[in-house]
Amino acid sequence: MDKMTSTVQMALRAVLYEVTVNPKPGLVDPVSQGAHTDMDVFTFIDSAVSLQPYFEQAYQIGLKADTDDLVSIFQTLRVAGKTAEETMFQATNGVNTHKGAIFSLGILLAATGYEHRYNRQSTAGILTTVKEMLINLTQTDFAKLSAKQVGQQTAGERQFLKFGKMGIRGEAEAGFPTVAELGLPFLRKATGTRNQRLLDTLLFIASGTEDSNLIKRAGTPTVIDWLKPQIDQYFKLGGSKTKVGMEFLEKLDQVFIERNLSLGGSADLLILTTYLALLEEVI
């Protein structure tokens, strides 16, 4: 199997693993729609399959770039990402399942392709390339935001204006530190079934990040202060390894559903963590 095929398969596996893991607070999985009444696991599968050509394109953009100007590589990727969003919406009848993954995982695939161009592959190298691709991203994206009509602003842009949160753009520009410093180190050491390892990794990521999707749904960043003690309690009870830990998580899932909350941002970071872990062959 050639490098592009195996790398793109890892990206697809990461997307499909995320939706398979359960039970996830407020998120879609094979047995629940979570707080997302407009989608289910089949919607996610349809969406993931539709994105394979884009994942191939993202990898090729990095691999075959005729420049070492990494910012221009990202600009090319962004155009491809807009088309991928349209493809996703066609596959899901207008439901946003993977807009975050199109942005973030597309960046990682382009960075991986660029590293493979020089016969290199390390997590550190890929994330360094990401940082070089995204120099001044937040400054550039947010510079003229106040002049943009409210109806044209993304959820991330509205959060920046309202709360000063940099969201996924800031995370990406910094080289995905939540993935590098929290998600991956935790997953490398995690034990148990694949579901247990990925579920606990998701919750660990959620405890250490300001989930933009959670903030959007709650309407306030104070929801983060409420969430962290809940996750601390989950791990104190033994996490996915114990009956009481899982019972606690199932109750938390119900609270999320009742309050229309979701860990969508953390789920996207789990996808990135899983992709890099597959590259590292640790899962």
Other beta carbons within 10 Å of 188: 14
**Rounded CA gap, 137 and 135, in Å?**
6
Tell me the per-residue pLDDT of 118-134, one tens digit each, with 9 for 90 and over.
999 999 999 999 999 99
Res. 146 pLDDT band, cuts 50 70 90: low
Query: For residue range 25-47, what is the model confidence (pLDDT) as tens digits?
Result: 999 999 999 999 999 999 999 99
Q: What are phi and psi of 210, to 5 degrees?
A: -95, 90
Contacts of 119 (CB under 8 A, 6+ apart): none
Q: How many residues are present in the chain?
A: 283
Domains and CATH numbers, the chain: 3-139+152-280 (1.10.4200.10)
Report the pLDDT value the prediction gives residue 57, as an integer from 0 to 100: 99
Q: Is the pTM of this model over 0.85?
A: yes
151 has a pLDDT exceeding 70: no
pLDDT 10s digits, 75-89: 999 999 999 999 999
**Residue at 253: amino acid letter:** D
